[in-house]
Amino acid sequence: MFEPMALLLAHFSHFSEWPGLDDFQAFLDDWPKPIQTLAGKPLSIVEQAGKPASFEEHYAPRLYTTGEIQTRRENWHDFFQYLTWFMFPETKAQINAIHIPHARARIASGQALGRRTAIENTLSLFDEGGALLVSSDEKLLDMVRAFQWKTLFWDNRALLAERFECITFGHAMYEKGLVPYVGMTANTILLHCPASFHGQSWEDKWHWLDQQLAAIFAEGKRFQQPKDLQPFPILGMPGWDQKNRDETYYDNQHYFRPGRGGNR
């Protein structure tokens, strides 16, 4: 599960205790390509502030207008949030920017800040708990769409290794992966890729995926509500749980559900 960000994790592997926010900033400063918001503000790591006094001080607007990522110390959730910006800079910036007018409109109309629109909820679900299902074989993606989990994970196990990848996007999903449990489900986006994708370096895969996702969200026609995201029992991926080496693992229909609400 953590393989896609292994290059980033390696930088922090020598620390004997939690790196500080200055260490996060130093790595960001040394990154070859500047990372910035759609407002053109370069990212910077700052201490999490207290209760915001205005719209501009809330997390997303502050990030958009200043580039400041409010980050808690010694916190896995925020650590993975920080790392995913290196993997998907354009997509993260696009998601952040989409939130701003929706949140501003809600406040202007007198609605509570916490009552988000459907598209905001969708973006948050993906940003927190999302993953990308990438395959050069459309038949494998169709099995996901049809909730054919045992056919996908067991009957096509060898094919999965060659033509199918699950790449975690959401920082909360990475956090859950520290202590995985049967029931972990990702909110996913399915992408068909060229066969050459599977042999590329992780840096090249990041770039291709980031370009694809950023374009999808910028277009704004897909993924308008939570049900547009495909649920995916992520521990079904071969090797992601030692117990899934046994065929009976996939007979657990409480986890490998036949469809949304068990109706398909």
Residue-wise pLDDT tens for the chain (264 aa)?
Answer: 999 999 999 999 999 999 999 999 999 999 999 999 999 999 999 999 888 878 788 889 999 999 999 999 999 999 999 999 999 999 999 999 999 998 888 777 666 555 778 899 999 999 999 999 999 999 999 999 999 999 999 999 999 999 999 999 999 999 999 999 999 999 999 999 999 999 999 999 999 999 999 999 999 889 999 999 999 999 999 999 999 999 999 999 999 999 875 443
> Do both 97 and 59 map to the same domain?
yes
Could you say which of 81, 102, 123 is where a domain stops?
123
**Alpha helix (H) ranges present in the chain?**
6-11, 21-30, 59-66, 76-87, 89-108, 118-129, 138-145, 149-150, 157-163, 171-176, 202-219
> Do both 33 and 83 map to the same domain?
yes
Please tell me the predicted confidence (pLDDT) of residue 261: 57
Could you say which of 72, 100, 123 is where a domain stops?
123
> Do both 74 and 155 map to the same domain?
no
CA 51 to chain centre: 26
> Do both 110 and 175 map to the same domain?
no
Please tell me the predicted confidence (pLDDT) of residue 103: 80
CA atoms 205, 207, 210, 212: torsion sign: negative
Separation of alpha carbons 111 and 179, rounded Å: 37
Separation of alpha carbons 260 and 112, rounded Å: 30
Residue 217: CA count within 13 A, CB half-sphere: 27
> Do both 197 and 247 map to the same domain?
yes
**Alpha helix (H) ranges present in 14-137?**
21-30, 59-66, 76-87, 89-108, 118-129
In the chain, the number of structural domains is: 2
> Do both 112 and 144 map to the same domain?
no
> Do both 167 and 248 map to the same domain?
yes
Name the residue range of residue 221's domain: 126-262
CA 203 to chain centre: 16
> Do both 7 and 115 map to the same domain?
yes
141 φ/ψ angles, rounded to the nearest 5 degrees: -65, -35
Could you say which of 123, 143, 177 is where a domain stops?
123
> Do both 237 and 132 map to the same domain?
yes
> Do both 95 and 139 map to the same domain?
no
Strands (E), 147-199: 164-168, 185-192
Please tell me the predicted confidence (pLDDT) of residue 52: 81
Q: For residue 182, what are its two tokens?
A: 């049967």
Please tell me the predicted confidence (pLDDT) of residue 263: 40
CA atoms 79, 85, 87, 88: torsion sign: positive
> Do both 131 and 242 map to the same domain?
yes
Q: Read off the pTM.
A: 0.93
Separation of alpha carbons 76 and 82, rounded Å: 10
Separation of alpha carbons 136 and 192, rounded Å: 6
Separation of alpha carbons 48 and 71, rounded Å: 5
> Do both 247 and 149 map to the same domain?
yes
100 φ/ψ angles, rounded to the nearest 5 degrees: -60, -55
Q: Look-up: residue for tokens 């700052």? A: 46
